[in-house]
Amino acid sequence: MFWSALTFQLGYNATLVTLGATLLGVAAGVTGTFLYFRKRALVSDAISHATLPGVALAFIVMTMLGFDGRNLPGLLIGSAITAALGLYCVQWLSSRTRLTEDAAIGAVLSVFFGFGIVLLTVIQTMASGGQAGLESFLLGSTAGMLYSDAVLIAGGGALALALVVIFRRPMLMSAFDPEFARASGIDLNRTDLIMMGLVMGVTVIGLKIVGLILIVALLIIPPAAARFWSDRATNVVIIAGILGGIAGWSGASLSAVAPNLPTGPIIVLFAFALFAASMLLAPGRGLLMSALNHRRFQRAVHIRQGLVSLAQGQPIYEPLTLRLLQKAGLARADGVPTDDGRAQSSRVLRDEKRWEVARSDPAFEMAAARYDGLTQIEDVLTPDQITLIDTRIGAPSVVAQ
């Protein structure tokens, strides 16, 4: 059943909802990356919580005017208005008062969310409030979603992606080098406004699927996971979009076959699973690869120090060092070096003496900063500099070509 949902075999409406959730995940991952780069992740939390009173007020107004209070476009317009107001309040408080941005976010988040809860309570006392179903905006729900709702969400996600493609360059420059961006003629305030507008748009269109409480997770978890896979900003943006899309696709598919489960938490749990897998398995920054690299580094240090001991005629007391030297064919079981071990130990000892001179001479300060016990000095200094050092230590100069 789950596989049928993943492969879009549960019918037209379920397929449309799944595609909408996938597009939302891609848009959230891509847009949230710029928040992640700007270190302003908490702003999305304030924006999302500020949407609740807008949803409630829109429902009340539409009901009083005789319209369907659950009309999704109307609810999204209301949420966008209060989200924009919440964002303005955060910026005003952080720029016009002594409050830091995180304090301003906390104040706006709590006040707007509290006001929204009060309005929801008021709605429940209205004659038409009992069937409102507005609680789905807290945790997200695809049950009972109309065709027009799915089209609206999918279209909004696609529009957000298109705007990110258009404005990605100034947003990246503003995130990493604001001074250079300003010197290049980029208006930082306008760029920040565009970025926050995109975040607000993704937050609003994601209310129905993910819910206002968890939309911030969909904005931040995919970029955080993508960061494990690449150091290039453009690649992080692309990977974050892919991971967000996978989370939205998988979560909406599972929600389609288990409609009693809240959609938002399912999508976020899939996003977290991708984050955990990235943290463990990513080839560059993953914990597993880091552990393997650390182990390789330790073994290399053991071998190098063992070779230094062999060159100086000192016994090797560390069993692991001796085992590693034996395995590499550099020493016998009794600690006597092989011919290859003798040659390599001489080279390592000469390298250590060179590093000792370089680290004690201010003229080589920049090069000495790269000493880690393993890097060969030929990879750092020029042949002329090495010849000068060899002259000082009284050794024949042998520079690898």
Does 381 reside within a domain? Answer: yes
Listed residues 178, 196, 219: the one ending a domain: 219
Q: What is the pTM of this model?
A: 0.80
Residues 6+ apart with CB under 8 A from 139: 211, 213, 214, 262, 263, 264, 265
- Residue 296 and residue 212 in one domain: no
Listed residues 168, 198, 219: the one ending a domain: 219
Note whether 207 and 51 are within 8 A (CB).
yes
How many of the other CB atoms lie within 10 Å of CB of 230? 18
- Residue 299 and residue 168 in one domain: no
Note whether 81 and 53 are within 8 A (CB).
no
Does 273 reside within a domain? Answer: no
Does 339 reside within a domain? Answer: yes
- What would the DSSP string read from start to end of 149-167? HHHHHHHHHHHHHHHHHHH
- Residue 56 and residue 191 in one domain: yes
Listed residues 194, 219, 244: the one ending a domain: 219
For 279-337, how does the pLDDT look when each residue is reduced to its tens digit (9 = 90+)? 999 987 889 999 998 898 889 889 988 988 888 888 888 889 989 998 989 988 888 88
Does 233 reside within a domain? Answer: no
- Residue 295 and residue 213 in one domain: no
- Residue 184 and residue 328 in one domain: no
- Residue 303 and residue 199 in one domain: no
For 195-231, how does the pLDDT look when each residue is reduced to its tens digit (9 = 90+)? 888 998 898 888 888 888 788 889 999 999 999 999 8
- Give percent of the chain above pLDDT 70: 95
How many of the other CB atoms lie within 10 Å of CB of 319? 8
Domain encompassing residue 204 = 12-219
- Residue 175 and residue 302 in one domain: no
pLDDT at 395: 55
Query: CA–CA separation, 222 vs 238, rounded Å?
Result: 10
Does 128 reside within a domain? Answer: yes
- Residue 292 and residue 388 in one domain: yes
For 229-276, how does the pLDDT look when each residue is reduced to its tens digit (9 = 90+)? 998 999 999 999 999 999 999 988 888 888 777 788 899 999 999 999
Does 265 reside within a domain? Answer: no
- Residue 81 and residue 210 in one domain: yes
pLDDT at 140: 74
pLDDT at 44: 84
Domain count, the chain: 2
Element holding 273 (H helix, E strand)? helix 263-281
